[in-house]
A and B are shown apart, each in its own frame.
Chain A
Amino acid sequence: MSTFYFIAFLSIFFSILVITAKNPVHSILYLVLTFFTFTIHYILMNAQFLAVVNFIVYMGAILVLFLYTLMLINLNKESEPRKSSMVKFAAVIGGGCFLVTIVAALKAFKVSQPVILNDPNLGLVKNLGKILFNEYLLPFEVSSILLLSAMVGAVLLATKDPKTT
């Protein structure tokens, strides 16, 4: 039980470091650590499929894509201007309002039942695959079209226009 609280503390700690790190490369590396703690959360909930997908897709693919783009762009240290402290203060107030709303709504519920896994093979690949390919076959195929169109769009956007150059 205390494992959850330790990992939750690490998640919050690293996610705060993500938004406060001055160097964007450090910020991406902290984001990798944050997603690693999320993977541990999935393992604690016995959602093994999501843990593996989170590990491979987020930490392996998406964040490497971020890092690659950042190194391609080659930012200088001075090219990151900071916002004024007034704007930062307003931003923290705005984000804090959301948090206060959620916490107040949680306080309104007095009861809080524990999360207990009744079916141990709920998050296993076999169970999820059966659901995914029976009930959600159409959304699955549509998401493949979405990925194809995103790939075409990314290539189209990132290539130089031969007419203008």
Chain B
Amino acid sequence: METLTRNIQAIPLNHYILLCSIIFAIGVIGVLIRRNAIVIFMSVELMLNSVNLLLTAFSVYRGDATGQVFVFFIMALAAAEVAVGLAIIVMIYRNTNSIDINVLNRLKW
């Protein structure tokens, strides 16, 4: 197992950065092009996960386990965020019968 992972991991760090920034950009585009509030939330999760992967890659690269502990905290934060966010979405749906974000333009300007 160790020799397997050791052989696999001769990947340049730039490729990890490239992969994570592509996925982060996809998340940004997803937030901008969709109008369904739940799909927007999912794009936010995508962005959080790409940052998690990059933190782990840097942690392995530097040989420092602090980055992985930080990823653990980000996961706890994401769980809290999703719970509150979905509760807000359910409340919005109950009030307006829609989760289209264009209904919620009162805070726009």
Binding site for B on A (CB under 8 A): 1, 3-5, 8, 11-12, 15-16, 18-19, 24, 27-28, 31, 34-35, 38, 41-47, 49-50, 53-54, 57-58, 61-62, 65-66, 69-70, 72-73, 75, 79-83, 87-88, 90-92, 94-96, 98-99, 102-103, 106, 109, 112-120, 122-123, 127-128, 131-132, 135-136, 139, 143, 146-147, 149-151, 153-155, 157-158, 160
Contacts of B66 in A (CB 8 A): 131, 135
B67 to chain A, nearest CB (A): 9
Known contacts A75-B99, A88-B33, A158-B87; A54/B75 CB under 8 A: yes
Complex: A27 Cα to B57 Cα, angstroms: 27
Determine if B42 and A154 form an interchain contact, defined as CB atoms under 8 angstroms apart: no
Complex: A8 Cα to B33 Cα, angstroms: 23
Known contacts A24-B38, A47-B60, A128-B69; A115/B90 CB under 8 A: no
29 chain-A/chain-B pairs, Cβ below 8 angstroms: A8-B19, A12-B26, A18-B26, A19-B30, A19-B34, A19-B39, A28-B42, A41-B56, A50-B71, A53-B75, A57-B79, A61-B79, A65-B82, A66-B82, A81-B100, A94-B32, A95-B25, A99-B22, A103-B18, A114-B12, A114-B13, A117-B6, A128-B69, A147-B80, A149-B80, A150-B84, A151-B83, A157-B84, A158-B90
Complex: A43 Cα to B83 Cα, angstroms: 27
Known contacts A16-B26, A98-B24; A83/B33 CB under 8 A: yes
Contacts of A38 in B (CB 8 A): 49, 52-53
Contacts of B6 in A (CB 8 A): 116-117, 120
Complex: A104 Cα to B13 Cα, angstroms: 15
Contacts of B52 in A (CB 8 A): 38, 50, 54
Contacts of A19 in B (CB 8 A): 26-27, 29-30, 33-34, 39, 43
- Chain A's closest residue to B34 (CB) is A19
Of A8, A54, A79, A90, the most chain B CB neighbours within 10 A belong to A8
Query: For window 40-92 of chain B, which residues contact chain A by CB distance below 8 Å?
Result: 41-43, 45-46, 49, 52-53, 56-57, 59-61, 63, 65-66, 68-69, 71-73, 75-84, 86-91
